[in-house]
Chain A
Amino acid sequence: MSEVDHDELVSALLAGKHRALARAITKIENRSPGYRELVSNLHRHTGTASVVGITGSPGAGKSTLVDKLAKHYRDRGETVGVIAVDPSSPYTGGAVLGDRIRMASNVGDMDVFFRSMSARGQLGGLSTATADAVKALDAFGKDRILIETVGAGQSEVDIVKTADTVVVLVQPGSGDDVQMLKAGILEIGDIFVVNKADMSGAAKTVADLEEMIHMRDNPTHGLQTGHHGFEIPDHPDTADPAEENDRWEPPVVETIATAGDGLDELLDVLSAHREHLETTGGLDRNARIRAAEEIRQHLRSDAATLLEEEIDRHGGIDALAERVADRETDPYTIADEILDPIREAIGTRSDRQE
């Protein structure tokens, strides 16, 4: 793609052309030539949107909740971007992306920009693509961005980390405490929502969640049984009273997304969390953590590409593996053989700078 097309796309996107935004996200998703420059150009226009990630098991009601939230933001006159991530088939790479079906409240409203993305079987790449797509929506001028993803596995956790606030959706009776811990969802949630609260078992799920959240934030809670001569030391995380005030205890909200019940409460805690981030400096802190993570991620993936090329130059991974299998050489030696020229190049460069 030529430089001119590029600038055109960026200016069309910044001018509010929906088609340009859609095309920019396609380029990001496809990793088409020039997408890096595209995202680089967009980056300086970002930083105004409030980003909320919504995750939860399939069927928990994420899409319905996203629809209702989007409707509410629209009623307040704000513009909304939605990115819905769905898994793709590991066999064919194909996918059926069905989250759009639930977007019934925002029919024909172009100011809700809804985009489906599939995992395309790439490791780590999806979180990068999602983060870049969020940047495109942010630069476009969306006030609110919602990211929706199935909450299972590392890459999904990475995806929601793009958000300022992470909402974890749980449905009643979704298993005992162990299931929740195993899923690793407890650590990432800023707000927990028990959806379908009219189903039986909702109260127990709320109680379970509340207990576990409390345990997470205060691991020694309940152990102070008053035995004399035995003092529980302060938990290192809670030693500083100033920090204590800065801490956010994730609330548990009950909703019935289909009927819109509990939505107001959810919106209240969402803005409370936002406010909390703003007053404690968490927003800036998170932005820096994210930026650092993005830099590392790019470096890792660029270095990996570089190394793949080096491996090919050394005869390809299969040939190398065969030599190792035949005991001609060993993996360490090969790694050194491939890396040494790179190390040398870096070495000479830093020598020169000194």
Chain B
Amino acid sequence: MSTDTAQRSIRCLVAKVGLDGHDRGAHVIARAFRDAGFEVIYSGLHRAPEEIVQAAVQEDVDVLGISILSGAHNTLVPKVIEGLKEYDAFEDTLIIVGGIVPEDDRQKLKSLGVAEIFGPGTPMEETIEFVRENAPERP
């Protein structure tokens, strides 16, 4: 294979923010994304919003998937979004949230810039399809 052929691969950061230690879902998603041919960067557990921002900016990911099961999404997600804006990384990053988010909060998160929220029981194909269709086109 020539080294000069353009090689595009969707890059995702799968992030666990805050104090909740439930990472089974994040692991399953990371594996499913990998098997879908994406490049997945996994943050590890108990990350602060600044760390997620640092990783998303430096890794130049197309997709940021935040997994929150602690109920702290209303505090943590805005902090991440603020940080991304600070580094001009908000506009061209697809932000999705996985976890248990009450209906009222879903609208709030979406108005902040979260593209979609995937609750428990979402089929894996649905999430992958969503990412494929909505991952930002990069020049």
Q: Once the chains bind, are B9 and A110 in contact (CB under 8 Å)?
A: no
**A interface footprint on B69-95 (CB within 8 Å = 1, 0 otherwise):** 000000000000000000111000000
Knowing A31-B6, A128-B3, the reply to whether A101 touches B57 (Cβ < 8 A) is no
Q: Which residues of B contact A295 (CB under 8 A)?
A: none
Question: A302 within 8 Å of B by Cβ?
Answer: yes
CB proximity of A86 to chain B, nearest CB, Å: 9
**A22 contacts B60, C-beta separation under 8 Å:** yes
Interface status of A284 (Cβ within 8 A of chain B):
no
Q: Which residues of A contact B11 (CB under 8 A)?
A: 26
Q: A95 contacts the other chain (Cβ, under 8 Å)?
A: yes
**SS class of chain B's interface: helix, strand, loop or mixed?**
loop
Q: Do B35 and A108 have beta carbons less than 8 Å apart?
A: no
Main secondary structure of the interface of A (DSSP, over half): mixed
Quick one: CB contact mask for A84-126 with B, threshold 8 Å, 1 for yes? Answer: 0000110011111110110000011110011110101111110
B114 interface hit (Cβ, 8 Å): no
Do B51 and A108 have beta carbons less than 8 Å apart?
A: yes
Chain A residues with Cβ below 8 Å from B36 are: 92, 94
A contacts with B, residue count (CB < 8 A): 48
Q: Is the CB of B9 within 8 A of A18?
A: no
Task: Enumerate chain B residues within 8 angstroms of A308, measured Cβ to Cβ.
Answer: 2
Interchain nearest-CB distance for A150 vs B (Å): 16
Given contacts A93-B9, A97-B41, A116-B41, contact A301 B59 (CB under 8 A): no
Is there a chain B Cβ closer than 8 Å to A305's Cβ? yes
Is A33 interfacial (CB 8 A cutoff)? Answer: yes
Query: Given the complex, which residues of B lie within 8 Å of A25, measured CB to CB?
Result: 60
In the assembled complex, A1 has its CB within 8 A of some CB on chain B: yes
- Check if A285 is an interface residue, CB within 8 A of chain B: no
Please state if A26 and B60 are interface contacts (CB–CB under 8 Å). yes
Cβ contact of A107, chosen from B3, B50, B58, cutoff 8 A? B50
B31 / chain A contacts, CB cutoff of 8 Å: 96
Sorted from nearest, which 4 A-B pairs have the closest CB atoms? A125-B3, A101-B44, A94-B34, A22-B60
7 contacts between A and B (CB under 8 A): A89-B35, A94-B33, A100-B59, A109-B54, A115-B58, A120-B9, A122-B3
Given contacts A30-B138, A115-B58, 10 further A-B contacts (CB under 8 A): A5-B139, A22-B59, A26-B138, A31-B3, A31-B7, A32-B6, A95-B34, A110-B54, A113-B58, A125-B3
